[in-house]
Amino acid sequence: MTTKPDIRDVVYWGNSVSKETIKEHSINLLADLDNGYITPLQLAAQLKYFEDIIANVKEEVRQRVVAEQSKYGKERMTFKGATFDIKEAGIKYDFSHCEDVIWNDIDKKMQMLTERKKEREAFLKSLKERLTYVDESTGEIVTIYPPQKKSTTTYAITWSKE
């Protein structure tokens, strides 16, 4: 009787972790795809499956890695070919509590301009063809065009509610 492979098999007993093995496994997966051993839909679903598993455990693991590394009092450690650096990331500043009149004035103006810009963009998106009008403030005849649409064809994967 054979057992189905489990993600833990890869995590616990997987080969050494390095840029080379990542590239090697990537090439092997794409070769399997090219050779018809797996379909694009199956591979995409499996990749999404692993992404979702990773997303579910990543934050908890982050906290535990920081705690584990802190035990040793080191900001940099190497483990199985991976270098771990403890660092601050995603630093954000809240300037609204500075009581700076100049900053507050600039922020208020930017918020008003951002809103005006959004309204103008909504208007421009509604254009189906070019529009010519007279700018009443200057008397100039102006022609404006609908914005160009740019996109990338891709796919989305969602899981059934079953």
Query: What's the confidence (pLDDT) of residue 98?
Result: 96
The model carries a pTM of 0.67
| Helix (H) or strand (E) segment spanning residue 22 | helix 19-34
CA dist list (Å): 70 to 19, 58, 61, 135 = 26, 18, 14, 65
What is the residue range of 61's domain?
Answer: 7-85
Residue 132 is assigned to a structural domain of this protein: no
- In the predicted model, is pLDDT for residue 140 greater than 70? yes
Query: What's the confidence (pLDDT) of residue 15?
Result: 65
Q: Are 24 and 18 in contact (CB under 8 A)?
A: no
Query: What's the confidence (pLDDT) of residue 2?
Result: 66
Mean pLDDT of 31-47: 95
Q: Are 157 and 48 in contact (CB under 8 A)?
A: yes
Find where tokens 């200057």 sit.
Answer: 138
Residues paired with residue 132 on neighbouring β-strands, in sequence order? 143
The region of weakest confidence among 2-16, 55-69, 137-151 is 2-16
Residue 57 is assigned to a structural domain of this protein: yes
Tokens describing residue 149: 């649409």
Tokens describing residue 21: 């093995």
- Report pLDDT digits (tens) over 90-125: 999 999 999 999 999 999 999 999 999 999 999 999
Tokens describing residue 80: 């199985």
The region of weakest confidence among 7-16, 19-28, 60-69, 115-124 is 7-16
Find where tokens 């982050």 sit.
Answer: 62
Residue 120 is assigned to a structural domain of this protein: no
- Report pLDDT digits (tens) over 49-77: 999 999 999 989 999 999 988 888 878 88
CA–CA dist 115, 60 (Å, integer): 38
Query: Over pLDDT 90: what percentage of the chain?
Result: 64
Residue 95: HSE in the Cβ half-sphere, 13 Å Cα cutoff: 9
Residue 100 is assigned to a structural domain of this protein: no
Residue 81 is assigned to a structural domain of this protein: yes
Domain count, the chain: 1
CA dist list (Å): 104 to 29, 113, 116 = 54, 14, 18
